[in-house]
Amino acid sequence: MTQHVKLTLNGQTVEADIEPRLLLVHFIREVANLTGTHIGCDTTSCGACTVQINGVPSKSCTLFAVQMDGADIRTVEGLEQDGQLSPIQEGFFEEHGLQCGFCTPGMMMTAEAFLRDHPDPTEDEIRRAISGNLCRCTGYVNIVKAVQYAARRTREAQAAPKETATVEAPR
Amino acid sequence: MIPDNFTYLAPTSLAGVWEALNAHPDDAKILAGGQSLIPLMKFRLANPAYLVDLRHVPGLDTLEERDGALVIGAMARESDLERSSLIQQRYPGIHDATSVVADPLVRNWATVGGNLAHGDPANDHPAMMLALGARVVAESPRGRRELALGDFLVDTLETALQPDETLIEIHVPQPVAHSGSAYVKFERKVGDYAIAAVGARLAFDGETVREAGIGLTNVGPKALRAQQAEAFLVGKQLTDETLREAGRLAAADAQPSADLRGPVEYKRALVRTLTMRALRSAAERAHSATR
């Protein structure tokens, strides 16, 4: 007994007939074949499965895919644009924000959504924001630095277009 | 972990919700934020044949003061309360509680309504809401009724909600002059349930306690009121001595059981300390409030 669901995943429309009991994380990994979203604890603790639903970071192991009819979902695969790393990806790269990398997709989806509302966060705010995402390798120090890096880059990028707007793009 | 099969229903009106509940009185379950129910279903501790999602019913995310009460709609999310300046300024105890429910990602989905209707003594809102004298509004095709939260909470994972009823709103009396509230939680790590936690509300006449409310989290089969401690405080001034006695009485009011979070004696000792801290914080807020 299946139910139909149609949603947007990283800008692409995805439709499927699914069992209502199918968890969103399984839908993403096994129906849409996007395996960047990880399954860690499977008990709403670790945050490895974090995706953004209509912009809101959410643990996809504790939602049913059938609830997502009409939703706009973004996973780690949706961060990079035209071969360019997003500021948060660049931050994790530059600041060595990962060791084994298992928590990284969830960490980035949480941090990226957080920075949208907090363009200039304090360290304490960052640590609170990622408190639902567990990392067993880094001790969080470089993850915090990665988020700070992304915040800085995003602020710079938002300040920059005013200066470059008058410059003709090279052909 | 894969839950058992079920049928998912997403009505777009309360009438639709009631229709679904009436059609399946014994095996339908309301889905709000799902952050307690879905884990239970994954462990197969709950196997509802029908899930009735409230998310598409308009008008259930109220968060406002109306007719002398703070009204929290069934679908108001923890993250809504956390960001609300109304909650921060007027209901600091609720703000304390909402900020320590699970973790920020869970709070993006979890609802206060679900936190009460789940009936889990480990949940954070019931104790604070007991201290604040909150009431629960339940509605069914038979009508609307309002229950004191103490009557709504029956036992572990059991409430007074009938199979055809839906929790619609929570009503919290507006703060009176010279009153304050606080919720203090002790947990093993972020995101965990409380080892113990205490919600306190105090209202003063000058330096004298006029009203006291104290609720206890995860030290009994349901959230408890520390009634001996409440009764003791009324008419007293808050001194180190009366605080210690209130803590002692609250620890006696607690009914903890030993588990992975600690033995009975430890939990009682925690209740004593947390009660003193919550009362102190509630009193500071009452005295600093200019209202």
Q: ipTM, 2 decimals?
A: 0.94
Question: Which residues contact residue A75 at a Cβ distance below 8 angstroms, ignoring those fewer than 6 apart?
Answer: A9, A10, A28, A34, A36, A37, A51, A52, A105, A109
Q: Would you say residue B253 has pLDDT above 70?
A: yes
Contact (CB<8Å) A20/B6: yes
The average pLDDT across A86-108 equals 98
Interface test with A, best of B50, B105, B120, B188 (most A CBs within 10 A): B105
Across the interface, do A44 and B35 touch by the CB < 8 Å criterion?
A: yes
For chain A, what is the mean pLDDT? 94
pLDDT digits (tens, 9 = 90+) for A114-160: 999 999 999 999 999 999 999 999 999 999 999 999 999 999 998 88
- Altogether, the residues listed in chain A come to a count of 171
pTM: 0.95
Report CB contact under 8 Å: B38, A69.
no
Cβ-Cβ contacts under 8 Å, A66 against chain B: 8
Cβ atoms of residues B69 and B48 within 8 Å: no
CA distance B242 to chain A (A): 35
Q: Which of A3, A21, A131 sits opposite B104 (nearest CB)?
A: A131
Asked if residue A170 has pLDDT above 70, the reply is: no
pLDDT in tens, B5-37: 999 999 999 999 999 999 998 899 999 999 999
Confidence at residue B185, expressed as pLDDT on a 0 to 100 scale: 98
- Evaluate if residue A63 carries a pLDDT over 60: yes
pLDDT for residue A171 is more than 50? no
Quick one: pLDDT at residue A162? 58
User: Cβ A3–B1 below 8 Å, yes or no?
Assistant: no
Give the minimum alpha-carbon distance from B169 to chain A in angstroms, rounded to a whole number: 23
Percentage of chain B with pLDDT > 70? Answer: 99
Search chain A and give the residue with CA nearest B36. A62
pLDDT confidence of residue B291 = 46
| Strand duo B153-155 + B224-225: pairing | unpaired
Mean pLDDT, to the nearest integer, of A40-61?
97
pLDDT value of residue A161:
66
Tell me: the pLDDT tens digits for B60-82? 999 999 999 999 999 999 999 99
User: What is the phi/psi pair of residue B210, to 5°?
Assistant: -95, -40
Query: Residues near B90 by Cβ (< 8 Å), separated by ≥ 6?
Result: B65, B70, B174, B175
Which residue in A19, A45, A62 is closest to B191 by CB distance? A45
Tell whether the model's pLDDT for residue A167 goes beyond 70.
no
A160: helix, coil or strand?
Answer: coil
State pLDDT tens for residues B184-234.
Answer: 999 998 889 999 999 999 999 999 999 999 999 999 999 999 999 999 999
Residue B21 has which token pair? Answer: 């509940």
Percent of chain A scored above 90 by pLDDT? Answer: 91
Query: Is the minimum CB–CB distance between A43 and chain B shorter than 8 Å?
Result: yes
Q: Does A110 touch chain B (CB under 8 A)?
A: yes
Query: What pLDDT shows up at residue A169?
Result: 47
Query: Do the Cβ atoms of B5 and A62 come within 8 Å?
Result: no
Which CA distances in Å does A89 have to A25, A115, A150, B126? 21, 13, 8, 40
Q: Is the pLDDT of residue A168 over 60?
A: no
CB contacts under 8 A, A 70-109 vs B, are none
User: Quick one: CA dihedral A49, A71, A11, A116, positive or negative?
Assistant: negative
Query: Residue B47: closest CA among chain A residues belongs to which residue?
Result: A21
On whether the CB atoms of residues B223 and B132 are closer than 8 A, the answer is no
**CA of A164 vs chain B CAs: smallest distance (Å):** 36
Half-sphere exposure of B178 (CA within 13 A, CB side): 9
For chains A and B, CB pairs below 8 A equal 77
**Distance (Å, rounded) from C-alpha A136 to C-alpha A89?**
19
Nearest CA in chain B to A125: B104
Using the beta-carbon criterion (under 8 Å), do A44 and B10 form an inter-chain contact?
Answer: no
Identify the pLDDT of residue B83.
97
- Residues of B near A (Cβ–Cβ under 8 Å) read 1-8, 10, 31, 34-35, 38-39, 41-42, 51, 53, 55, 102-106, 108-109, 190-191
CB contact under 8 Å between B5 and A131, yes or no, is: no
Model confidence at B102, pLDDT cuts 50, 70, 90, reads very high
pLDDT (mean) for A162-166: 50
Q: How confident is the model at residue A1 (pLDDT cuts 50, 70, 90)?
A: confident
Q: How far is B39 from chain A (nearest CA, A)?
A: 7
Contact yes or no for B106/A59 (Cβ under 8 A): yes
What pLDDT was estimated at residue B27? 94
Q: What angle do CA B235, B239, B240 make, to 5 degrees?
A: 140
Q: What is the mean pLDDT of residues A31-57?
A: 98
pLDDT in tens, B164-183: 999 999 999 999 999 999 99
Chain B interface includes A136 (CB < 8 A): no
